Structure 1
């Protein structure tokens, strides 16, 4: 395993980036193929990553963890400045672009957590409560699926 890079080291090898970020080398290569991170090649054809790539990898990992697709992550990263290290303002702007989507996900997860053990308005009529909450499957006229959750 590669040792962690010095704090003032400007470029990292793929092994150093892997060790410091906690991401497998194969995943870093995948991120690079997808255009999420970039590396320059040395005369010996070895990859060298700018140190700020650590922030990009951290953002990718966190965004993936909350379910943001790689295509959306890539689109957001494309908005960061090219050729210089992103500033705090750049990162704030990027995170703000996801705020409404994340708020919506949080809302849906809270609904699922709070209402999953009861009727979710699917029209299944399988729970005792459905006869009260959705008599005669009236929710079906509003479309398929869990209508109460989808419409709230």
Structure 2
């Protein structure tokens, strides 16, 4: 018989939509920490439903398990996290999500002009990099990362 605040791994799987094997994996990654009953079966807190839901959402936004674990270490282990606890850790992700949104917006805006152009106007292309001048700005796709493109002399 389950205690009111504890649930089995099967119940946790049903509530989160995760496979039991995924829950075990998240346990090995330190994202949930079940207790064991006298029979050796895992017993999770009901609050682990929310913890694992947070993990799933954060992964969909592109956060790594290492980053998620880093943020979740600030959640209390001895009690169910409160709304304030969740708000505090969500602030960590807010700035990173804002950066991702800005980068995606820049990419979208620069690619809008490419649709249908067939690169027939390379002198006006926002992504064109004649003579690899973007290399002076550093590694990576510099123009998509926000650097201004250097236009060739007319």
Q: TM-score, normalised by structure 1?
A: 0.81
* 1:139 to partner: Cα distance: 3.4
Partner of 1:74: 69
* 1:81 to partner: Cα distance: 1.5
Q: Which runs of 4+ in 1 moved over 6 A?
A: none
SS in 2 for 1:130: coil
Q: Does 1:131 align with 2:126?
A: no
Q: Which runs of 5+ in 2 are unaligned?
A: 148-154
Q: Summarize the Cα distance change of 1:136–1:58 in structure 2 as closer, same or farther, 3 Å threshold.
A: closer
Q: Does 1:88 align with 2:83?
A: yes
CA shift digits 1:78-125 (9 cap, x unpaired): 011121111111000000011110001111122223323546xxxxxx
Q: Which runs of 5+ in 1 are unaligned?
A: 1-5, 120-125
Partner of 1:110: 105
The structure with the greater share of residues assigned to helix is: 1
Determine the C-alpha separation between the residues in 2 that align with 1:33 and 1:16. 19
Question: Equivalences for 1:138-149 in 2 at 5 Å?
Answer: 138-149=133-144
Cα RMSD (Å) of the superposition?
2.3
Aligned residues between the structures: 140
RCO higher in structure (CA 8 A, sep ≥6): 2
